[in-house]
């Protein structure tokens, strides 16, 4: 009895300790806090989901308060991000992060951010410094474990950690990380080269089909450059851009072909955004919708916030709400009192790989040996010894092949092909040229008109994003921003010879010549990472865009209901469209699959699930479960025999388009299995075998009875903490991770919960947030994000938006003072400290 009593006391003591440890980092969201750096009083009003609306009298106080609130809810996430962008993550989590640190330090994200800080105007610099003061006002005087539970867990295995003070550079560097994720086709360049290990260049080109002719571009096939500016006219002209740019287009095929002779972006990361003019809405005013697709994480990448000057004036011009990144001041996507904007990845080609002939500490350029630029980088490692590397660079940028196996393989392929010495691979990327995009974020937060919006877009240098626009006056528009290089030779699809000056960039496309449209006749604008403009445009913006399956479905949905039919579009319609799970790839393939005879009732039972399937990929759909298994096995049987393993199909929109192009050619060479000499497989054999494979797989992992199959049982989303969530220690993982959850959607679908056919059916990218803005009444707008406002495990707002997100539901988005007051649950007052 005594022992049992002691054990009970120990268990109770551990429970109390755990409860206190978990909760000690939860922030106070009511009462008053004194902050020395404030000039005036700031009010932070939080609704029932913990989403803050911040009110201040000056911009400095407003963004200081945003920094404070971000740190309250998400400081560990912020600290993690700055360690990543500085190449210092191993200092926090140990040697498991060392290779990532080496890569980031080689790219030099933080070095570029430091250069950008020096380029900021006084007003912008004042605001990013105010934000940093707000972060520091919260973290000063608090131990690491008081800031987040992650620090308490890390402290169990390492020395005590004291977070450094936040700086403006910490904020600027995060934009480099986002630009890297959205850098367009660098991976495609590598894959093209590595595929030549087993394929001819012509076969590799077949793997990258042209943009489907029946899929619309964003701004149409008539706009071009004339007299130095973009015009949406029906009379194409070559005038305007430098003749070198036009020559680049005309010689692109020749340039691309020359490089493969020397040598031999991934689906899922993208977005949907569209805007509908008042002629097609129930209110007569525009509605704008946006859902960016990014990798899932715990917490989610976005943080909802409202930033309001109590009196909007020239001195304090901010009245904006939307989605921010913790660690970055301002609102990245959202609306002001007059305008709204959304973003999608443009897939502009802003990065090129250069083959470099390196000899010793020099490389060849224009017939001369030029010294390599070098620098030493030293890495501190938690629980380990420091390590130092030498970073080498050419005139084009850092040499990636020193530390990236795939880049090194590209160089090795060149050496094997030419037998002319060794080749390294360097990266030229627009984001490594200092141009501070943070100025665009502040400018968008002040925008009141199309003119303001375009002025802000001009500052949006990297990453290149499609920007859609709507305003309360009824205007809708689109603008392509960013620094997009003009290539004098080649088209950016294959690595180029760094020793040849003919392959240098000749500058970038002037902003006024980038595609733009205001109030198109069609009455709506759709962007879903599809091609921006037709081939009449004199510069190739990017060859590896999405193939347009999502954008075509959105166009069909948007154009299906109009005011002329008495059924104008509403906010609810837009939310429904965002959750649409129609699979256009299935609509193309299933009729062919149903024609294929199978040899037994067992296999025919699987095939029969397709006969009554509506091509919607809901989580409880048997047909979706079977079709996606068929699709995965079809890709494997068609392409695995001929492609290197790392280049196997991921199953996204590019592969939809490729299979579509050979589906009516049953004898096409891709259907044949080259590992079975003397036997020529055909399309029908592959389709039949894929259906048999899928039936066997679904029987094994779900049920012998097809009526019990469910797409969501195999297509599951797990939200993983980026540092401790994959520790391998079950208890630690369970502290921070959430899920797995059964979800709908899939690859190339508007509800873009992507999966990788090389790995399985687990979700790899998601609509990270959804927003719908009603320009008739901003308080009727709706929003949702993947997890919740809080980054503190077990906090009520850690994951309280997830179930709504999963069900396709959204939250009311209060903006006006009255609506915010009615929604407020907690109020925190930040006051200047007494002098």
pLDDT in tens, 40-52: 999 999 999 999 9
Question: Nearest 10 degrees: CA dihedral of 453, 454, 458, 464?
Answer: 80
Lowest mean pLDDT among 243-252, 289-298, 636-645, 720-729: 243-252
Residue 628 sits in a domain of what CATH number? 1.10.1400.10
Alpha-carbon distance 807 to 299, whole Å? 19
Tokens of 639: 């392409």
Residue range 803-822: average pLDDT?
A: 98
**Structure tokens given for 457:** 């877009």
pLDDT digits 0-9 by tens, 350-370: 999 999 999 999 999 999 999
Q: Which of 688, 508, 464, 706 is nearest to 598 (CA)?
A: 688
Q: Pull the structure tokens for residue 813.
A: 């988005």
Q: How many CA atoms lie within 13 A of 828 on its CB side?
A: 21
In a domain, 73, yes or no: yes
Question: Does residue 534 sit in helix, strand or coil?
Answer: coil
pLDDT at 420 (0 to 100): 62
Q: How far apart are CA 268 and CA 345, in angstroms?
A: 11
Task: Tell me the per-residue pLDDT of 696-705, one tens digit each, with 9 for 90 and over.
Answer: 999 999 999 9
Q: What is the pLDDT of residue 290?
A: 98
The closest alpha carbon to 781, from 334, 291, 343, belongs to: 334
- Of 51, 86, 91, 89, nearest to 70 by C-alpha is 51
Q: How confident is the model at residue 238 (pLDDT cuts 50, 70, 90)?
A: very low
| CA-to-CA dists, residue 180 to 121, 130, 347, angstroms | 25, 27, 12
Least confident of 3-17, 29-43, 377-391: 3-17
Both structure tokens of 500: 């040849």
Mean pLDDT, residues 592-612 taken together = 97
Neighbours of 386 (CB within 10 A): 10
Give the model's pLDDT for residue 58.
98
Residue 102 pLDDT more than 60? yes
**How confident is the model over 541-564, as pLDDT tens digits?**
999 999 999 999 999 999 986 555
> Is 352 annotated among the ligand-binding residues?
yes
Q: Is residue 315 part of a domain?
A: yes
Q: pLDDT digit string (tens) for 613-623?
A: 999 999 999 99
Angle at 338 between CA 336 and CA 341, to 5 degrees: 60
b/e per residue 590-600 (b: at least 16 CB within 10 A): beebeebebee
Relative to beta strand 303-309, strand 769-774 is unpaired
Q: What pLDDT is stored for residue 431 in this prediction?
A: 94
Tokens of 137: 């006002």
Domain assignment present for residue 393? The answer is: no
In angstroms, the CA 730 to CA 718 distance is 14
- Per-residue model confidence (pLDDT) at position 180: 87
Nearest to 483 by CA among 502, 458, 446: 458
What mean pLDDT do residues 784-806 have?
A: 98
Give the confidence band of 20 by pLDDT, cuts at 50, 70, 90.
confident
Final residue before a domain boundary, out of 649, 682, 714:
714
* Beta strands 351-359 and 496-497, pairing class: parallel
- pLDDT band with cut points at 50, 70 and 90 for residue 726: confident
The CATH code of the domain that includes 306 is 1.10.439.10
Range of the domain at 302: 2-181+296-340
The pLDDT score that the predictor gives to residue 160 is 76
Q: Please write the tens of the pLDDT for every residue from 651-669.
A: 999 999 999 999 999 999 9
Confirm or deny that 101 is annotated as ligand binding: no
Whether 666 maps to a domain, the answer reads: yes
Q: Structure pTM?
A: 0.93
> Is residue 452 domain-resident?
no
Decide if pLDDT at 710 tops 60: yes
Residue 572 has pLDDT above 70, yes or no: yes
Given this model, what pLDDT does residue 22 score?
A: 86
Does residue 270 sit in helix, strand or coil? strand
With respect to residue 336, please indicate whether it lies within any of the assigned structural domains.
yes
349 labelled ligand-binding: yes
- The two tokens of residue 772 are 């719908």
Helix axes 59-85, 122-139, angle to 10 degrees: 70
- Whether 364 maps to a domain, the answer reads no
In this predicted structure, the answer to whether residue 1 has a pLDDT above a threshold of 90 is: no
State the catalytic residues: 271
Q: Which of 468, 457, 467, 475 is nearest to 512 (CA)?
A: 457
Asked if residue 91 is part of any domain, the answer here is yes
Q: How far is CA 623 from the centre of its chain?
A: 29
Among the candidates 320, 340, 360, a domain finishes at: 340
What is the rounded CA–CA span in Å between residue 267 and residue 764?
10
CB 826 within 8 A of CB 45: yes
The whole-number average pLDDT for the span 297-322 is 98
pLDDT of amino acid 418: 62
Average pLDDT for 76-90: 96
Exposed / middle / buried, residue 562 (Cβ in 10 Å: 0-12, 13-18, 19+): middle
Residue 157, pLDDT > 90, answer no
Residue 13 has pLDDT above 70, yes or no: no
Residue 66's H or E segment, with its range, is helix 59-85
Task: Give how many domains the chain has, as a whole number.
Answer: 2
Q: Which of 340, 366, 393 is the last residue of a domain?
A: 340
CA distances to 152, 552, 733 from 20, rounded to whole Å, are 11, 52, 19
SS3 state of residue 241: coil
More confident residue, 123 or 238: 123
pLDDT at 590: 98
> How many Cβ atoms are within 10 Å of 247's Cβ, its own excluded?
15
């Amino acid at each position: 009895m005594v022992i049992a009593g002691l054990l009970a006391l120990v268990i109770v003591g551990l429970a109390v300790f755990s409860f206190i440890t978990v909760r000690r980092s939860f922030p106070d969201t009511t009462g008053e806090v004194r902050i020395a750096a404030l000039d005036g009083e700031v009010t932070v009003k939080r609704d029932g989901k913990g989403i803050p609306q911040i009110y201040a009298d000056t911009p400095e106080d407003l963004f200081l308060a945003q920094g404070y609130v971000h740190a309250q809810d998400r400081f560990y996430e912020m600290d993690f991000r700055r360690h990543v962008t500085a190449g210092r993550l191993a200092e926090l989590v140990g040697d498991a992060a060392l290779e990532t640190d080496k890569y980031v330090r080689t790219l030099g994200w933080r070095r570029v951010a430091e250069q950008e800080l020096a380029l900021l105007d006084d007003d912008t610099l004042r605001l990013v410094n105010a934000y940093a003061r707000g972060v520091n006002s919260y973290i000063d005087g608090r131990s690491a474990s008081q800031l987040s539970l992650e620090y308490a867990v890390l402290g169990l295995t390492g020395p005590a950690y004291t977070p450094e003070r936040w700086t403006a550079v910490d904020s600027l560097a995060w934009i480099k990380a986002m630009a890297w994720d959205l850098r367009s086709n660098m991976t495609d360049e590598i894959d093209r080269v590595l595929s030549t290990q087993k394929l001819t260049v012509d076969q590799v080109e077949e793997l990258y089909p042209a943009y489907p002719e029946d899929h619309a571009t964003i701004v149409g096939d008539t706009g071009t450059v004339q007299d130095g500016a973009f015009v949406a006219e029906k009379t194409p002209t070559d005038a305007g851009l430098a003749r070198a740019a036009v020559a680049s287009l005309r010689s692109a095929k020749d340039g691309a072909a020359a490089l493969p002779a020397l040598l031999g972006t991934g689906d899922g990361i993208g977005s949907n955004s569209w805007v509908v003019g008042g002629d097609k809405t129930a209110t007569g005013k525009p509605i704008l919708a946006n859902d960016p697709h990014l990798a899932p994480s715990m917490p989610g990448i976005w943080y909802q916030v409202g930033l309001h000057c109590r009196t909007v004036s020239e001195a304090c011009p901010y009245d904006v709400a939307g989605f921010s990144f913790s660690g970055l001041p301002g609102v990245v996507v959202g609306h002001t009192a007059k305008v709204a904007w959304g973003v999608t990845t443009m897939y502009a080609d802003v990065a090129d790989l250069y083959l470099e002939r390196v000899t010793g500490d020099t490389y060849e350029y224009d017939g001369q040996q030029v010294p390599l630029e070098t620098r030493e980088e030293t890495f501190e490692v938690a629980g380990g010894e420091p390590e130092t590397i030498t970073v080498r660079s050419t005139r084009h940028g850092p040499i990636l092949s020193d530390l990236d196996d795939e880049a090194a393989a590209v160089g090795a392929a060149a050496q094997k092909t030419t037998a002319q010495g060794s080749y390294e691979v360097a990266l030229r990327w627009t984001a490594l040229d200092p141009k501070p995009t943070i100025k665009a974020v502040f400018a968008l937060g002040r925008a009141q008109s199309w003119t303001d919006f375009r002025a802000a877009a001009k500052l949006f240098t990297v990453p290149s994003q499609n920007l859609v626009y709507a305003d309360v006056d009824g205007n809708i528009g689109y603008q392509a921003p960013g620094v997009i290089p003009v290539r004098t030779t080649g088209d950016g699809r294959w690595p180029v010879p760094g020793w040849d000056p003919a392959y240098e960039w000749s500058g970038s496309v002037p902003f006024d010549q980038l595609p733009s449209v205001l109030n198109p006749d069609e009455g709506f604008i759709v962007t879903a990472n599809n091609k921006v403009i037709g081939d009449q445009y004199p510069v190739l913006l990017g060859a590896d865009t999405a193939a347009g399956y999502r954008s075509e479905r959105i166009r069909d949905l948007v154009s299906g209901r109009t005011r002329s039919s008495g059924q104008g579009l509403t906010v609810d319609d837009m939310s429904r469209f965002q959750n649409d799970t129609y699979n256009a790839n299935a609509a193309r393939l299933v009729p062919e699959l149903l024609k294929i005879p199978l040899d037994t009732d067992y296999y025919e039972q699987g095939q029969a699930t397709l006969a009554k399937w509506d091509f919607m990929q809901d989580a409880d759909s048997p047909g979706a479960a079977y079709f996606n298994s068929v699709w995965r096995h079809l890709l494997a049987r068609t392409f695995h025999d001929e492609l290197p393993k790392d280049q196997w199909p991921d199953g996204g929109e590019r592969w939809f388009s490729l299979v579509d192009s050979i589906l009516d050619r049953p004898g096409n060479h891709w259907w044949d299995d080259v590992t079975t000499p003397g036997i020529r497989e055909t399309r029908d054999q592959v389709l039949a075998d894929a259906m048999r494979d899928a039936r066997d797989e679904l029987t094994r992992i779900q049920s012998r009875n097809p009526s019990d199959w469910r797409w969501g049982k195999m297509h599951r989303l797990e939200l993983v903490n980026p540092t401790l969530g994959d520790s391998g220690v079950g208890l630690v993982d369970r502290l921070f991770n959430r899920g797995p959850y059964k979800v709908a959607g899939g690859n190339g679908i508007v509800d873009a919960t992507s999966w990788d056919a090389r790995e399985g059916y687990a979700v790899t990218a998601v609509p990270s947030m959804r927003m719908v803005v009603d320009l008739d009444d901003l308080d009727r707008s709706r929003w949702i994000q993947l997890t919740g406002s809080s980054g503190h495990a077990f906090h009520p707002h850690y994951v309280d938006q997830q179930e709504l997100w999963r069900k396709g539901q959204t939250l009311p988005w209060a903006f006006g003072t009255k609506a915010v007051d009615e929604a407020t649950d907690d109020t925190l007052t930040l006051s200047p400290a007494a002098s």
